[in-house]
C-alpha cells in the first residue's frame, strides 16, 4: 500500500435512497457505494479521514448489480445528518 491514502478511491458515492435517508436520521448511519476490493477496515479509515469522525461499525454487502455498499455507523458524538447535508444527500 502506498504512503498516500486517498479516502475517495474507496468511497465512490454516497447513497441517497429513502432507506439511506431513514438510516441517517434514525440510526446515525451513512451509506456509500465503495470500491469492490475495499475491506471493512479500509472503509472505516476512509470515512474517518474524509469526514473527521469516529466510526463504530461497518457493514457491507454486494448488490445484484455487482456494486459494493457500505453502511457506516458513526459514534454518538457525531451526527450522520451533518455529513449527509454536506454531501448533498439530505437538504
Query: Which residues, 6 or more positions from 80, have their beta carbon under 8 angstroms from its beta carbon?
Result: 23, 24, 25, 27, 28, 29, 30, 74
Answer yes or no: is 47 within a domain: yes
**Half-sphere exposure of residue 37: CA atoms within 13 angstroms, side-chain side:** 1
Read off the pLDDT of each residue in 44-61 and give the average, rounded to a whole number: 97
Q: What is the pLDDT of residues 4-48, one digit of tens each?
A: 789 999 999 999 999 999 999 999 999 999 999 999 999 999 999
pTM equals: 0.92
In this prediction, residue 73 carries a pLDDT of 98
What percentage of the chain exceeds 70 in pLDDT?
Answer: 97
Average pLDDT rounded to a whole number, residues 58-79: 98
Query: What's the mean pLDDT in 51-59?
Result: 97
Q: How many CB atoms lie within 10 A of CB 91?
A: 5
Determine the structural domain holding residue 73 and report its residue range: 7-87
- CATH code of residue 61: 3.30.70.330
- At CA 77, angle to CA 7 and CA 72, rounded to 5? 40
Amino acid at each position: 500500500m502506498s504512503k498516500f491514502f486517498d479516502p475517495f478511491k474507496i468511497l465512490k458515492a454516497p447513497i441517497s435512497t429513502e432507506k439511506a435517508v431513514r438510516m441517517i436520521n434514525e440510526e446515525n448511519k451513512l451509506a456509500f457505494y465503495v470500491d469492490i476490493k475495499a475491506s471493512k477496515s479500509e472503509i472505516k479509515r476512509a470515512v474517518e479521514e474524509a469526514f473527521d469522525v469516529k466510526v463504530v461499525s461497518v457493514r457491507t454487502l454486494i448488490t445484484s448489480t455487482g456494486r459494493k455498499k457500505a453502511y457506516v455507523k458513526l459514534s454518538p458524538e457525531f451526527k450522520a445528518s451533518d455529513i449527509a447535508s454536506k454531501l448533498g444527500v439530505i437538504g
